[in-house]
Structure 1
Amino acid sequence: MQFKHPEILYFLFVLVIPILVHLFQLRRFKKEYFTNVRFLKEVSIQTRKSSQLKKWLLLCTRLLLLACLIFAFAQPFFNAKDTKNTGNEMIILLDNSFSMQAKGNRGELLKRAVQDLLENTSDNQRFSLLTNTEAFWDTDIRSIQKELQSLSYSATPFRLDFLLNKVEAKKQDVPKDIVIITDAVNQNTQSTDKLNDQNPTYCIIPKAENKNNASIDKVVINQHSDDFYEIKVDVSAYGDLQSEVPMAVYNGTNLVAKTVITFDNPKKSILFNLPRKDFHGYVALEDNSLNYDNTYYFSISKPEKSNVMAIGEADKNAFLSRIYTSDEFNYKSTVLTTLDYNTLDKQDAILLNELKDIPQALTTTLKAFYDKGGTIILIPAAETSVQNLTGFLGNFGISKIGPLQNTSRQVTKIAFNHPLYQTVFEKKTDNFQYPKVNTSFTVGGNSARILSYEDQSPFLSAVTNKIGTLYLFSAPINKANSNFQNSPLIVPTFYNMAQNNPKTGIAEFTIGDNQSMILDVILSKDEVVTVKNEKSDFIPTQQILNNKIKLSFGDYPEQSGNYAITKGNNSLKNISFNHARTESDLSLQNENIFNKYTKTDSIATVYNDIHSTRTASEAWKYFIIATLLFLLLELLIQKFVK
């Protein structure tokens, strides 16, 4: 026990006074004569004994009373259990990712956590609070009350290691109390590596009562006819969804189609037929769990013809005219000697069909065309030298080309998940009429394999810079060398390679993937295009490419929805944005990674724990109580002890 004012203990010498008073009474006694004291002798002896007992009791009581009073004024206390962390700064890390939309026993997890902070944090408590996207440094609860109440859900996942790095950069070498509020969905053990054992860490892990959830993952055009699109909506079920889930398709605000989903499998694909015209809307489902993944926005523009040019001998290009028909393509065939280089920039796809030599001028032009978002399809000729092929393909990141092999090889593997074939096959199949080749080159490097031989080497591969694509065949496909032209793969392969998705496909982007698109528009020097809807707008990063413009969206927009690309007051194109479905599976909660830290159920428990372990125990009040008790005891002795 220690004292805040130990100098007051000198007053304990005052205890000598009552001792002197009781031991040396200064009164003089008078003698009184009685006629007969014989009868008083026994009474006198008894009275003297009881009087001495009373005096000793009063002496002890008064000494203890004065001693307790002096101790109380000296303010005794006991040291706190945790004295080394008394000056720690409080850091609160609050998860506001989409998974915190889940409902617990008192409502949505994020809203309940915010309410807990508002109700149990005192006005004089200083702290720093960081969410997935925002930071409030050295503040108090009253200053950020409005911001917390309006805190929105973020598509940015809760990255504990990232937030801890951010805190350390701002509060380097400062002792801290870390409070983590998260549902621990999609968290791994690596995320806690940045936690310092020297900083006390408290974890509040709110739990969802219902972990069942349905999510719309993707919308693609499955096939189309002259009058209709058939769209495929991919849906995932997490947990055990027993009830039927309604789903509807809206073009703007107009209901187009409606159905009900029964999840007999975790993955379902729902088909809808839409009129083949401009579409700017969304597909939505209704469940009782997360909201962010219940709506998928997408836009389909009126189909425009893709411009395709084939460079090669006329007889070898003949099969292409049957694929690139005039109703969907502006197809042109030319030989290399009569090629007009000025027309290349106007194409969407350029096909090099068995050129014996690729000139350097054409290589330079095609590299610029690729960088601007164009599609190049290369079919090598048997007479092409490896050196010439290597020189051309090196510009696109493919540097490993082996010599021509005169060995018959059969294509045996299809990359069904590649965008080229995603809408071609309803399911994977092994019973297929695979093509074969008689001679072929060996292609190495990091290109994506689309069609492969038995030894897993590529027959058809691709490289991309996210806006442009180069498709490479490893063998000539003329009828003398291959039966590929007679294969069922020939039409969907070349058709899909030449299709320009911005012109004919679904215009839909995932927020945060930093995706880009090419738009046919001519801008003056100071002009910019804007992406906007009724609620928000932003200016994307844009690069002028002659008669086109490259738009990069970065992490924008912040909210999913249907948007329009505008130039001034003119709308150029409708596009849509969706959040990545990374938070949909609530069963991925991994709270075990916080087992070695202090887990609590509310912020109030955190404050109480810190206060109880770091606050000295005051003992003066107990001495005041003892003083009052001894005062009462003295009164009782005076009254009842004779």
Structure 2
Amino acid sequence: MQFKHPEILYFLFLLVIPILVHLFQLRRFQKQYFTNVRFLKELSMQTRKSSKIKKWLLLCTRLLLLACVIIAFAQPFFKAKDNENKGNEMVILLDNSFSMQAKGSRGELLKRAVQDLLENTPESQQFSLITTTNAYWNTDIKSIQKELQNLTYSDVPYKPDFLLTKAQAKNPNTGKDVVLITDAVNLDSKDVSKFGTGSPVYAIVPEAENIRNIAIDSVYISQTMDNFYEIKVDMQAYGEFEDDVPIALYNGKNLTAKTLVKFNGEKKSSTFTIPKKDFHGYVSVTDNSLAYDNTYHFSISKPQKSNVLAIGESQKNAFLAKIYTADEFNFIDTPLSGLDYNSLEKQDAIILNELKEIPQSLVTTLKDFYAKGGNVVIIPAADCSLQSLNTLLSTFGNSAYKPLTQTERLITKIAFSHPLYQTVFEKKTDNFQYPKVSAAFTLTGNAMPVLSYDDQTPFLASLTNRLGNVYIFSAPVNKTNSNFQNSPLIVPTYYNMALSSGKTGISAITIGQNQSLLLDAVLSKDEVLTVKNQDADFIPMQQVLNNKVKLSFGNYPETAGNYSIFKGDENIKNISFNHARTESNLNQQNKSVLSSFTKADSVATVYNDIKSERTASEMWKWFIIGTLVFLLLELFIQKFVK
């Protein structure tokens, strides 16, 4: 037991006073004469004995009464259980990732958590609140009420360790009372590894009632016809769905098509056919669960002709002219001796078709061309300079050719998931006529195989810098050395190698994955490109590359949707953004990671627990009660004890 005012205990010396009064108390007796004192003597003895007991009882009660009064004024207390953390700062780490969009018994998990904070946090309580996107330092509930009510969902994963590090960096010398409010979806033990045993940690884990969910993963052009695109929508179902699910396609705000999808497995695709013209809209599905992954925004711009330059002998370039037709490509073929270097930067794809020597000036130019987003196709000649070829490859990566071998090889393996063939095959097939080569180099290094021989070495491989691509053949493809020109693979392979991502296909960028876009645009000195729609606008990072501009988006925009890229008031391209589908699987809730923390049902429980653990047990009230008890006891003794 401890005392707030221990100096008052000195007054316990006053207990000597009733003792002295008791010991030296003198009572005068009056003489009374009786005729017979025999009975009086007996009565006198009995009265003297009772009087002695009464005096001792009164002395005890008065001593205890006085002692209780003195101790009560000294204010005794027992120390709180968690007294050492009494000066801790309250830190609330609130999960506002998209999985908190799920609905619990009282509505969306995040909105319910915010309401819990607003209703149960004392107005005088100071705290810091950190979400995945915002931080409010040393504030109170009234000051951030509006911000909490307007808190939006984020595609940033909830990482408690990272948020705690921010709090510790803000006030490094202050202890922390940490409150985690999260549904624990996608939470890993590594995410809470920095939470030590020194500071109290409370975990509030709201749970969704419905963990079934459907997410639209991707939208792509599965087939290009003369006047139409065939659009394929890939979806993922988490949980079982017995009823048909409606899916709709919108161009802007106009409904273009609608259908029902029956999920008889985890993955399902739906196909739409749309006119071959500009499209700026989205596809949406209705599943009564998470909303953020029910919509996928995408844009399709009217195809522009790609510029393709083939460098080599005219007779060897003849098959390329049949693939790169005038309605879709601006195709030029030229021998190396007649090459105009100034025209290279205007191309989308450059094909080196069986050159015997590659000048250093061309190597330097191609390196710069690839860095600015161009596609380079390398077809070696059987009698080419191996050193010249490897010098060129070394500028793009660590791939290299080994000497030519006169061994017939079959091309037996296709990388169906490679971007070249993603929209070519409806399903994987092993039953096709294998092309072959009579002589080939062996390609080594880190290039990704696209087509491979039966000995698993690549016939065609690719490198990428996320803007441009390099496609490397390991053998000449002329009809003397190979029958590849007669293969069904020849057209889609060369066709897709020449396409520029900025001029064709679907534009749908994932926010936060630091994707880039290359545009044909010429900017003046102080001119910039702006990305905007009716609700928001921002200026992305941009790099001017001669007659092109490279845009990098980073974590912008904050909201998914359809946007347009403007040069001043001119709309030069439509573009769409979507959030990554990392929070779609609600089955990935991992509450066991939080098992070592104190579980709480609400914020009110946390505050009550902290208050009870850190509030000292005040004992003065009990001593006041004791004073009253002894006072009453003294009265009873005076009245009833004879």
TM-score tier after normalising by the smaller chain length: over 0.9
Moved more, 422-431 or 85-94: 85-94
Structure 2 residue aligned with 1:510: 510
Q: Take 1:607 and 1:456, find their aligned partners in 2: how far apart are those partners?
A: 64
Q: Take 1:57 and 1:243, find their aligned partners in 2: how far apart are those partners?
A: 87
Q: Take 2:304 and 2:369, find their aligned partners in 1: how far apart are those partners?
A: 20
Listed one character per residue, the Cα deviations across residues 347-388 of structure 1 (whole Å, up to 9, x for unaligned) are 211111111111222222222221221111111111112101
Structure 2 residue aligned with 1:618: 618
1:148 aligns with 2:130: no
Moved more, 98-107 or 384-393: 98-107
Letter in 2 for 1:100: M
Task: Note the C-alpha offset of 1:187.
Answer: 1.9
Q: Take 2:379 and 2:143, find their aligned partners in 1: how far apart are those partners?
A: 66
Moved more, 549-558 or 101-110: 101-110
Cα pair distance change 1:242/1:60, threshold 3 Å? farther
Q: Take 2:257 and 2:37, find their aligned partners in 1: how far apart are those partners?
A: 124
Moved more, 161-170 or 221-230: 161-170
Structure 2 residue aligned with 1:57: 57
Letter in 1 for 2:183: D
Q: What secondary structure, in the 3-state scheme, does the structure 1 residue paired with 2:477 have?
A: coil
Does the CA contact (< 8 Å) of 2:4 and 2:76 recur in 1? yes
Q: Take 2:635 and 2:327, find their aligned partners in 1: how far apart are those partners?
A: 114
Structure 1 residue aligned with 2:159: 159
Task: Note the C-alpha offset of 1:500.
Answer: 2.1
Task: Note the C-alpha offset of 1:566.
Answer: 0.6
Matches within 5 A, 1:31-110: 31-33=31-33, 50-110=50-110
Task: Note the C-alpha offset of 1:233.
Answer: 0.4
Aligned residues: 642
Moved more, 29-38 or 586-595: 29-38
Give the TM-score taking structure 2 as reference length.
0.95
Q: Take 1:223 and 1:168, find their aligned partners in 2: how far apart are those partners?
A: 54
Task: Note the C-alpha offset of 1:48.
Answer: 5.3
Q: What secondary structure, in the 3-state scheme, does the structure 2 residue paired with 1:574 have?
A: strand
Q: Take 1:543 and 1:10, find their aligned partners in 2: how far apart are those partners?
A: 82
Moved more, 534-543 or 428-437: 428-437
Cα pair distance change 1:85/1:375, threshold 3 Å? same
Cα pair distance change 1:460/1:62, threshold 3 Å? same
Q: Take 2:105 and 2:54, find their aligned partners in 1: how far apart are those partners?
A: 66
Structure 2 residue aligned with 1:250: 250
1:456 aligns with 2:442: no
Matches within 5 A, 1:576-615: 576-615=576-615
Give the TM-score taking structure 1 as reference length.
0.95
Structure 2 residue aligned with 1:357: 357
Task: Note the C-alpha offset of 1:173.
Answer: 4.6
Letter in 2 for 1:269: S
Q: Take 2:161 and 2:54, find their aligned partners in 1: how far apart are those partners?
A: 74
Listed one character per residue, the Cα deviations across residues 78-112 of structure 1 (whole Å, up to 9, x for unaligned) are 12223333333232222111111112222222222
Listed one character per residue, the Cα deviations across residues 288-328 of structure 1 (whole Å, up to 9, x for unaligned) are 21111011000111122212222222221122222222222
Structure 2 residue aligned with 1:276: 276
Moved more, 226-235 or 7-16: 7-16
Matches within 5 A, 1:227-246: 227-246=227-246
Does the CA contact (< 8 Å) of 2:399 and 2:447 recur in 1? no
Listed one character per residue, the Cα deviations across residues 5-32 of structure 1 (whole Å, up to 9, x for unaligned) are 2221122222233334444433422223
Structure 1 residue aligned with 2:318: 318
Structure 2 residue aligned with 1:196: 196
Cα pair distance change 1:336/1:128, threshold 3 Å? same
Q: What secondary structure, in the 3-state scheme, does the structure 2 residue paired with 1:428 have?
A: coil
Does the CA contact (< 8 Å) of 2:399 and 2:446 recur in 1? no
Moved more, 530-539 or 189-198: 189-198
Task: Note the C-alpha offset of 1:333.
Answer: 2.0
Structure 2 residue aligned with 1:261: 261
Structure 1 residue aligned with 2:415: 415
Q: Take 1:636 and 1:252, find their aligned partners in 2: how far apart are those partners?
A: 92
Task: Note the C-alpha offset of 1:459.
Answer: 1.1
Letter in 1 for 2:189: T
Letter in 2 for 1:464: T
Letter in 2 for 1:467: L
Q: What secondary structure, in the 3-state scheme, does the structure 1 residue paired with 2:531 have?
A: strand
Q: What secondary structure, in the 3-state scheme, does the structure 1 residue paired with 2:250 have?
A: strand
1:530 aligns with 2:542: no
Moved more, 558-567 or 442-451: 442-451
Q: Take 1:436 and 1:408, find their aligned partners in 2: how far apart are those partners?
A: 7
Q: Where in structure 2 are there 5+ consecutive unaligned residues?
A: none
Structure 2 residue aligned with 1:432: 432
Q: What secondary structure, in the 3-state scheme, does the structure 1 residue paired with 2:411 have?
A: strand
Letter in 2 for 1:486: N
Q: Take 1:173 and 1:387, find their aligned partners in 2: how far apart are those partners?
A: 62
Task: Note the C-alpha offset of 1:461.
Answer: 1.0
Task: Note the C-alpha offset of 1:563.
Answer: 0.3
Cα pair distance change 1:131/1:487, threshold 3 Å? same
Q: Take 2:146 and 2:628, find their aligned partners in 1: how far apart are those partners?
A: 49
Task: Note the C-alpha offset of 1:478.
Answer: 1.0
Percentage of pairs with the same residue? 68
Q: What secondary structure, in the 3-state scheme, does the structure 1 residue paired with 2:472 have?
A: strand
Structure 1 residue aligned with 2:127: 127
Q: What secondary structure, in the 3-state scheme, does the structure 1 residue paired with 2:607 have?
A: helix
Listed one character per residue, the Cα deviations across residues 169-216 of structure 1 (whole Å, up to 9, x for unaligned) are 333354323322222211222222222333332222222221111101
Moved more, 83-92 or 441-450: 83-92
Structure 2 residue aligned with 1:285: 285
Moved more, 349-358 or 34-43: 34-43
Q: Take 1:46 and 1:110, find their aligned partners in 2: how far apart are those partners?
A: 82
Matches within 5 A, 1:262-411: 262-411=262-411
Moved more, 134-143 or 564-573: 134-143
Q: Take 1:507 and 1:37, find their aligned partners in 2: how far apart are those partners?
A: 127
Q: Take 2:37 and 2:426, find their aligned partners in 1: how far apart are those partners?
A: 130
Q: Take 1:455 and 1:191, find their aligned partners in 2: how far apart are those partners?
A: 44
Q: What secondary structure, in the 3-state scheme, does the structure 1 residue paired with 2:508 have?
A: strand
Does the CA contact (< 8 Å) of 2:231 and 2:274 recur in 1? yes
Q: What secondary structure, in the 3-state scheme, does the structure 2 residue paired with 1:255 have?
A: strand
Letter in 2 for 1:556: Y
Task: Note the C-alpha offset of 1:641.
Answer: 4.2
Task: Note the C-alpha offset of 1:248.
Answer: 0.6
Task: Note the C-alpha offset of 1:49.
Answer: 5.2
Structure 2 residue aligned with 1:6: 6
Moved more, 67-76 or 427-436: 427-436
1:469 aligns with 2:469: yes
Task: Note the C-alpha offset of 1:541.
Answer: 1.1
Letter in 2 for 1:407: T
Listed one character per residue, the Cα deviations across residues 251-281 of structure 1 (whole Å, up to 9, x for unaligned) are 1110001112221110011101112111111
Q: What secondary structure, in the 3-state scheme, does the structure 1 residue paired with 2:323 have?
A: coil
Moved more, 254-263 or 625-634: 625-634
Task: Note the C-alpha offset of 1:630.
Answer: 2.2
Letter in 2 for 1:359: P
Q: What secondary structure, in the 3-state scheme, does the structure 2 residue paired with 1:503 have?
A: coil
Task: Note the C-alpha offset of 1:598.
Answer: 2.5
Task: Note the C-alpha offset of 1:40.
Answer: 6.8
Cα pair distance change 1:39/1:165, threshold 3 Å? closer
Q: Take 2:124 and 2:602, find their aligned partners in 1: how far apart are those partners?
A: 19
Letter in 2 for 1:532: K
Letter in 2 for 1:80: A
Listed one character per residue, the Cα deviations across residues 120-157 of structure 1 (whole Å, up to 9, x for unaligned) are 32233332222112222222323222222221111111
